[in-house]
Amino acid sequence: MPHVTLNNGVQMPILGFGVFQVPAEETERVVTDALAAGYRHLDTAAAYGNEEAVGKAVKASGIARDELFITTKMWVNEKGEEGAKAAFDTSLRLLGLDYLDLYLIHQPFGDYYSSWRAMQDLHRQGLIKAIGVSNFYADRLVDLIDHNEIVPAVNQIETHPYFQRADDQALMTERGVQIESWGPLAEGRNNIFSDPTLSAIGEAHGKSVAQVVLRWLTQRGVVVIPKSSRPERMAENLAVFDFELTGDEMDRIAKMDTGASIVFDHRDPQTVSAVGGYRLG
């Protein structure tokens, strides 16, 4: 599995397994299957409600901790630094771990400056190997970087053929932040799996549309965390490093970009209120 090197030297597998929208009662089985398929990078979040199930699957797998890269995310925090540390403690306990490989601020809302200060402290204590953010647009990302000690190692954002984020990636590269895609397969929207451009490229390589998209992203240096509940799809999503897209194929996919979110826009006032106002539990 290829890795990317984060800004503090930590090695992160470029392809992982996400559990967004996987019900808690199914998560242990799904993660067990993913680990059996060969995944060693797992991505969850407090807001997903399945951290405990992920932890049970990890423990039952018998895989050495240092062979795994585990990410979770802090939900919107309005209780200051102590509240952020309490949220971290809860996630670590539910996962059954002694440390996290990557901890992210899930949304750029609420008192995320206090969250970042708390995460910097936890990082200094060795409880988190790398800290980062999710869903931060360029302005908020730069503001956070310019006014804090630690530069986020990762920014996990909506990235797929219809919303390609090339300018965001260029800025992150300049600032030393690794781009990571959530929703790499556009959550199945826009009939992506029957898209004629992607289908034609897949046929040329004997690969599925999903494999073409994951290869396109990883070939750009984007970390991806596709989700699947089916073992055969899990294995298929891993099999993307035995072919390479040509420059012409990369250009054809580039032309699919709409430049806008197709899931939800973090700059829309109604979205800000709805997401920022949601409370766990």
Question: Domains along the chain?
Answer: 3-277 (3.20.20.100)
Whether 48 is a known active-site residue: answer yes
Separation of first and last alpha carbons in the chain: 36
Q: So what's the pLDDT on residue 280? A: 87
Q: State the residue for tokens 């984060």.
A: 6
**166 by DSSP, 3-state: which?**
helix
In single-letter form, the type of residue at position 151 comes to V
Name the catalytic one among 39, 48, 103, 162.
48
Residues with Cβ < 8 Å from 130, sequence gap 6 or more? 6, 8, 10, 12, 101, 102, 103, 123, 153, 154
**Under-50 pLDDT residues of the chain:** none
pTM attached to this predicted model: 0.96
Q: So what's the pLDDT on residue 277? A: 85
Q: So what's the pLDDT on residue 279? A: 84
